[in-house]
Amino acid sequence: MGVEMGFERQQERLKKWSEAEGIFFESEEAKFQYKRRTERFVRAVILQLPDRVPVFLPMGVSFPAYYCGITLKQMMYDYDALEKAWLKVAREFDMDTFGPPVLVHPARVFELIGCRYWVWPGNGLPDDSEIYQYVEDEYLYADEYDELLKDPTDFFLRKLLPRTCSKLSGLKKLKTPKCFLFDPALLVFNLVEDEIQEALETLIDSIRECRIWLQKITKIAEELVQMGYPRLWELIATAPFDFLGDTLRGTKGIFLDMYRQPSKLMEVLDLCADLIIQRIIESSENVIAPFVFIPLHKGYDGFMSPQQYQIFYWPGLKKILCGLINNGLIPWVFAEGNYNQRIELIADDLPKGYMVWHFEHVDMKKAKEILGKKVCIAGNLSPLLVQNGTPEEVERECRILIETCKEGGGYILAGGASVNKAKPENMRAIMKTAEKYGKYIS
């Protein structure tokens, strides 16, 4: 697909997002504000001048709970509490957009499947914990790359699920699905063992619970849109290196592979890129939000050398970016950690298309000079300042960022990371500073 077609499809999706066709707003004012807010982001992303700098508040996954006097655990188990908290925050902070409640994972689903790769409040973490945490381990062994390459679906069903979910261990007794190609009806005979049936019944129970949760978070998102707050993204992708290193090989495993079996690693990374693109494209058919959130975990300065980044990290990430752009989606890349050493490489090899590069910690003047004419940039507001500083300090920092990056458009005021226990007055100070210093002269 050509560059022009990618641009056209992105523009079509942005138009569909901003037109809000079929949405029943709670008032004419809500409809007006929705269109105003989406236009603000659209113009920033396409490097034109909006009415003012748009804001993506650094609202952590448990900030609504913190603000409303409840816990993350309550939101993960009580979906009504989740709804009340999310809507209260939206109404009281007058945001330009909102983070999706999909990040508040359904704890009961994890319990039902015996999830080993997450710990959360009440299960591996204290009840009052403000976070949940991924448990990194070697779920894919170093000598299993060929097996994964040969049949990813088979490996997922018969190896990965039993290893990562204790109550799905019976799936390891499945025969490979390819055995039944000549007579699909024979698949039933493969499912009669008690352990397999128990695993399948567990899956059905978890699917039912997940459906209840999904209906609730969909309702929350719809209510927020009806109130006039556009959702930026509903889908999450990862860089292939992070996907493999975070969830399958572990950090130690994938870094050993860079030295012990680099060619095989690169082959698997390419497979991961294809699988990620396929999943996102298939999931995007009924999604209105134009952006795909892509957090980058292992690519920051100091974690690997510039040469290693160019060989193992960037090619897969670039393939993801191209795949999304060519299908009309807009990557929202969140570069975690320090990214000063990567900016030139990124700028020299960026795929053509609209995207947002959101930085945790970078020289924003340098980012604006090098990337600002090619893509929209965001981020770098200190999360520690938002949590511990004063409104005056937050205003001062936001003003510096705005004055550094505002010129010519293509800038979104955003946190360098999300904050779970932000001072409410500091969150409001971010919005007020954007109104005070972020307006463009029409």
The answer, yes or no, to whether residue 192 has pLDDT greater than 90, is no
Average pLDDT, the chain: 95
User: Is pLDDT at 253 greater than 60 in this prediction?
Assistant: yes
Chain centroid, CA 252 distance in Å: 24
Residues in Cβ contact with 24 at an 8 Å cutoff, skipping those fewer than 6 apart: 226
Domain boundaries, the chain: 1-59+229-442, 69-94+99-226
CA torsion through residues 44, 50, 53, 54, sign: negative
Average pLDDT of the segment spanning 99-118 = 95
pLDDT for 246 beyond 70: yes
Least confident range of 10-24, 49-63, 332-346: 10-24
- More confident call, 176 vs 125: 125
Res. 188 pLDDT band, cuts 50 70 90: confident
How far apart are the C-alpha atoms of 253 and 141, rounded to whole Å? 8
Residue 442: per-residue pLDDT? 63
**Structure confidence at residue 162 (pLDDT):** 97
* Residue 359 φ then ψ, to 5°: -105, 140
Say yes or no to pLDDT of 1 above 60. Answer: no
Nearest to 281 by CA among 333, 328, 351: 328
Nearest to 71 by CA among 424, 422, 420, 428: 420
Q: pLDDT-derived band of residue 2, with 50, 70 and 90 as boundaries? A: low
What pLDDT does residue 186 have?
73
CB 431 within 8 Å of CB 68: no
Q: Out of 65-69, 115-119, 171-175, 190-194, pick the least confident.
A: 190-194
Residue 371 has pLDDT above 60, yes or no: yes
- Whether 56 and 356 have beta carbons less than 8 Å apart is answered as no
pLDDT category at 44 given cuts 50, 70, 90 is very high
Rounded CA separation 165/315 (Å): 32
Q: Which CATH number fits domain 1-59+229-442: 2.40.400.10, 3.90.79.10, 3.20.20.210, 2.130.10.10?
A: 3.20.20.210
**Alpha carbons 434 and 128: distance in angstroms, whole number:** 33
pLDDT tens-place string over residues 380-395:
999 999 999 999 999 9
Over range 175-200, report the average pLDDT: 81
pLDDT reported for residue 269: 99
The predicted-structure confidence for 86-97, as pLDDT tens digits, reads as follows: 999 999 999 999
User: What's the pLDDT score for residue 39?
Assistant: 97
Q: Over 90: is that where the pLDDT of 51 sits?
A: yes
pLDDT per residue over 138-147, tens digit each? 999 999 999 9
Quick: pLDDT tens for 149-168.
999 999 999 999 999 999 99
Flag whether pLDDT at 181 surpasses 70: no
The pLDDT value recorded for residue 182 is 67
Contact 66, 130 (CB under 8 A): yes
185-196 CB burial, b ≥16 within 10 A, e <16 = eeeeeeeeeeeb
